[in-house]
Amino acid sequence: MDPARLMDLARPMDLARQWREGAARAVSRAVPGDVLWYVKTAAPVFALTFDDGPSPLSTPGLLDVLARHRARATFFLVGERVQAHPGLVAAIVAGGHEIANHLMRDERSVLIPDPRFRLDLARTSELLAPYGPVRWFRPGSGWFTPRMLRSAAEQDLRAVLGTLVAGNRDQPADERIARNLAPGIRPGSIVVLHEGGPERRGVVRTTDELLSSLAGRPLSAVTVSDLVAQAPVPGGNR
């Protein structure tokens, strides 16, 4: 097929991918609660985040990729895995990245009774405290309730979700993740990727492909805290 024709066919797909980011922002504005989904900024930066680590199967590779691309990220870490791999947490911080709270276990936080939710949130922050400050938490599977947000706020934690989310599954579709995400990323986006188990080892390659595809655009990956600092005025994020 004529290459020009291929480009014409690709444009609607790129537009659809860009629309997904805009639609996610619109939906987030209708959801009640103090949750950070994205940041309103014209600065050429977006937040890159990883859930469910640390993992010896993926975290070292991710740190190598991020260093090569001079990118920064926020790692939402699971307490049990922090206990099992303290050296990886130290390596994340040493690489200039941010750590955040993803509770004690890789499970749906919305199903946890409030007393255990509070304990798990506090215990995970306690485990992370020796490595640096913790400002953010992300509920497991992304679902939350007002009760969870209140409990987190009492522990000086704010919920962070995102507008672009993907997970590697060790399947052929993994090869399309970076290609599908890249067109939708724009200033202020928060991108959510996942590491953890063996099926997610491909996140290292996905991250490399994603950052490589963005190299030609004036758009840099930063931590959530650095992204929030780009908000032009207080309340300039959602």
For residues 79-117, one letter each, b for 16 or more C-beta atoms within 10 angstroms of the residue's C-beta and e for the rest, the string is: bbbbeebeebbeebeebebbbbbbbbebeebeebeeeeb
Q: Output the pLDDT for position 233.
A: 54
Q: Which of 2, 51, 85, 120 is catalytic?
A: 51
Q: Catalytic site residue 102? A: no
**Cβ neighbours around 4 below 10 Å, total:** 8
Rounded Cα distance between 215 and 44, Å, is 12
* 194 carries an active-site annotation: yes
Please tell me the predicted confidence (pLDDT) of residue 3. Answer: 35
Structural domains in the chain?
3-228 (3.20.20.370)
* CB of 50 closer than 8 Å to CB of 201: no
The amino acid at residue 151 is S
- Check: CB of residue 207 under 8 Å from CB of residue 168: no
Angle at 56 between CA 82 and CA 141, to 5 degrees: 60
Catalytic residue (choose from 97, 174, 194, 208) = 194
Please state, in angstroms and rounded to a whole number, the distance separating the CA atoms of residues 230 and 49.
Answer: 17
Closest by CA to 227, choosing from 24, 31, 36, is: 36
pTM of the model as a whole: 0.88
What tokens appear for 206 in the block? 């996905």
In tens digits, the chain (238 residues) has pLDDT values of: 343 333 333 334 344 455 567 777 877 777 767 899 999 999 999 999 999 999 999 999 999 999 999 999 999 999 999 999 999 999 999 999 999 999 999 888 888 899 999 999 999 999 999 999 999 999 998 889 999 999 999 999 999 999 999 999 999 999 999 999 999 999 999 999 999 999 999 999 999 999 999 998 999 999 999 999 998 755 555 6
Q: In angstroms, rounded to a whole number, what is the distance separating the alpha carbons of residues 37 and 228?
A: 11
